[in-house]
Amino acid sequence: MARAQRLAALLCLAVAASLLSLGAQATTGPRARVGVYELKLGDFSVKVTNWGARLMSVVLPDSKGNLADVVLGRDTLAEYFNDTSYFGPITGRVAQRISRGRFVLDGKVYHLQLNDGNNTIHGGGTAFSKSAWTVKEYVCGGDSPYITLYYHSFDGEQGFPGSLDAYVTYRVTSPYTLGVHMNATARDKATPVNLLLHAYWNLGGEGSGRDVLGHTLRLHASRHAVLDAELLPSSGRVAPVAGTPLDFRAPTPIGARIRQVMGGKVVGYDANYIVDGGGEGTMRPVAEVRDAASGRAVELWANQPTVQLYTGNWLNHTEGKGGGVYNQYAGFTLETMGYVDAVNHPEFPSQTLRPGQEYKHDMVFKFSF
Residues 215-246 have pLDDT tens digits of 999 999 999 999 999 999 999 999 999 999 99
- Work out the number of other CB atoms within 10 angstroms of the CB of residue 279: 8
- For residue 332, give the DSSP letter: B
Distance CA 227, CA 211 (A): 25
Distance CA 281, CA 153 (A): 24
Residue 121 reports pLDDT greater than 80 = yes
**198 belongs to an annotated ligand binding site:** yes
Give me the chain's average pLDDT, please: 92
Is 137 marked active-site? no
Residue from 122, 198, 224, 345 carrying the catalytic annotation: 198
Residues 195-211 have pLDDT tens digits of 999 999 999 999 999 99
Pick the CATH number of 36-367 from 2.70.98.10, 3.30.70.100, 1.10.3720.10, 3.40.50.10470: 2.70.98.10
Residues 134-168 have pLDDT tens digits of 999 999 999 999 999 999 999 999 999 999 999 99
Closest CA to 85 of 295, 248, 318: 318
Q: Taking the model in full, what pTM does it have?
A: 0.93
User: pLDDT band at 33, cuts 50/70/90?
Assistant: confident
Closest CA to 238 of 335, 347, 352: 347
pLDDT for the residue numbered 11: 56
Residue 20 reports pLDDT greater than 50 = no
List the chain domain ranges: 36-367
Q: What's the average model confidence in pLDDT over 258-266?
A: 91
E strand or H helix that includes residue 105: strand 102-105
**150 belongs to an annotated ligand binding site:** no
**211 belongs to an annotated ligand binding site:** no
Is 111 marked active-site? no
Residue from 122, 215, 335, 361 carrying the catalytic annotation: 335
| SS3 at position 266 | strand
**270 belongs to an annotated ligand binding site:** yes
Q: What's the average model confidence in pLDDT over 341-355?
A: 97
Q: Which residues contact 154 (CB under 8 A, 6 or more apart)?
A: 163
Q: How far is CA 180 from CA 147, 165, 228, 244, 250, in A?
A: 10, 17, 30, 31, 26
User: pLDDT band at 280, cuts 50/70/90?
Assistant: confident
pLDDT for the residue numbered 128: 96
Closest CA to 149 of 132, 167, 130: 167
pLDDT for the residue numbered 265: 86
Residues 281-339 have pLDDT tens digits of 899 999 999 999 999 999 999 999 999 999 999 999 999 999 999 999 999 999 999 99
Residue 26 reports pLDDT greater than 80 = no
